[in-house]
Structure 1
Amino acid sequence: MQPFRKLDGKVTPIYQDDIDTDIIVPTEFIKRIERTGFDQYLMYYWRYDEHGKEYRDFPLNQKEYKGAPILLTGANFGCGSSRENAVWALYDFGFRAILAPSFADIFKNNCQNNGLLPIELEQGVIDELYQRTQEESLFLTIDLENNIISDRNQITLPIHIDPKTRHKFLEGLDDIDLTLSVEKEITDFENRRPFYMDPIKK
């Protein structure tokens, strides 16, 4: 994972509750054996009609949001099946953080394991941010080192993230990295175990 300390960027609004993983990346596109390249299938049936033509009014197809790294969305984002491909598709498309009132638990864990930062904000705050996206382009700075979100008008919002998750993002660590960081302790424990606890040892 790449370290995540500060992110500056435009916000893309897709403001709807209960967007599930079948919408984020439809079932027929998860048969790929590659882990990358899912960006082309992100919210496919919301982006394209039956002839493969783009819906011009959908945010992901609009030039003004091209390259925007922050997604603003509704409650219970990522519900449905546990497919990790949904996170890969969002990450491949360029998103690095998602702002929502709530996330499905498994999806949230998948985000945290793949470098996509899920940030929960109160419903009223999300509503206000969405309204601003309808009036003007919204640019935010997500400062994970100082646990705040700010805009160009010096408005700040606190970020509430589990300290362990915050540490992972700041240092760019995945679960394997965290395990290797205590490799000595694991080895010491294994060496202290009685033989009868290890079926391999005779």
Structure 2
Amino acid sequence: MQKFTKLTGVAAPFPLRNVDTDMIIPKQFLKTIKRTGLGTALFYELRYDQDGKENPDFVLNKPAYRKAEILVTGENFGCGSSREHAPWALMDFGFRCVIAPDFADIFYNNCFQNGILAIKLPQEQVDKLMDDAERGANATLTVDLEAQEIRGPDGGVIRFDIDPFRKHCLLNGLDNIGLTLEKEQAIKEYEGRLATARPWA
């Protein structure tokens, strides 16, 4: 998993509430188990019209936000089904950080398992960052995970809380497999003892 330490990038404003995982990545795109190639289907029904042409009014189709890496959005983001394709699609588009007042629990967990920093902030702070994000190409934020700070385009600083274990995993690029591999030597030693004690097993 890619490490997350510090990110400076354009923030896209997406002020909808209760955005469910079907809106993030519609069900017809769930046939793959690959984590790549889903970025084009992110928010598909909002980004494209019935003919498959881009909707020029949708935020991610605007030139200033085509390479956005931070998403500032509304409460209860990622509700609905537990599809892991939702964070895959966000990641494949280029998002490494999502900021909202709160998230659906399963989606929140899936973000961290896939290298996305999900930040919960009070509504008034999200509103401030949403206002910053409305500046288009000038909507650059810096998210510093080590310091647990978000720095805005005007120099303002917002601190955020994060579980220490999740922070450790992101800083070191550790998903569940990575965490297991950290114990590789201990696992080998245990298997060696087991093979000696139970050679028939």
Q: Name the counterpart of 1:150.
A: 151
Distance across 2 between alignment mates of 1:105 and 1:25: 17
Alignment of 1:81-100 (within 5 A): 81-100=81-100
Cα 1:41–1:135, aligned 2, differ >3 Å: closer, same or farther? closer
Q: Name the counterpart of 1:11.
A: 11
Q: Name the counterpart of 2:129.
A: 129
1:164 aligns with 2:165: yes
Q: Name the counterpart of 1:43.
A: 43
How many percent of aligned residue pairs carry the same amino acid? 47
Q: Which amino acid aligns with 1:165?
A: R
Shift of 1:190: 5.9
Distance across 2 between alignment mates of 1:71 and 1:141: 12
Q: 1:104-143 CA distances to partner (integer Å, 9 max, x unpaired)?
A: 1111111111111111111110112213333563211001
Structure 2: stretches of 5+ with no match in the other structure = none
Cα 1:17–1:201, aligned 2, differ >3 Å: closer, same or farther? farther
Q: 1:46-89 CA distances to partner (integer Å, 9 max, x unpaired)?
A: 01111112211110111111111000001111111111111111
Shift of 1:183: 2.8
Calculate the TM-score normalised by the size of structure 1.
0.90
What secondary structure is seen at the aligned counterpart in 1 of 2:134?
A: helix
Distance across 1 between alignment mates of 2:123 and 2:49: 31
Contact persistence 2:10–2:133 (CA under 8 A): no
Q: Name the counterpart of 1:175.
A: 176
Alignment root-mean-square deviation, CA: 2.2
Calculate the TM-score normalised by the size of structure 2.
0.90
What secondary structure is seen at the aligned counterpart in 2 of 1:11?
A: strand
Structure 1: stretches of 5+ with no match in the other structure = none
Q: Which amino acid aligns with 2:139?
A: L
Give the number of aligned pairs. 200
Distance across 2 between alignment mates of 1:6 and 1:192: 42
Alignment of 1:14-33 (within 5 A): 14-33=14-33
Q: Name the counterpart of 1:63.
A: 63
Q: 1:163-196 CA distances to partner (integer Å, 9 max, x unpaired)?
A: 1111111111111111121233445556677x9x
Cα 1:140–1:32, aligned 2, differ >3 Å: closer, same or farther? same
1:108 aligns with 2:135: no
Cα 1:135–1:61, aligned 2, differ >3 Å: closer, same or farther? closer
Distance across 1 between alignment mates of 2:80 and 2:200: 44
Shift of 1:90: 0.5
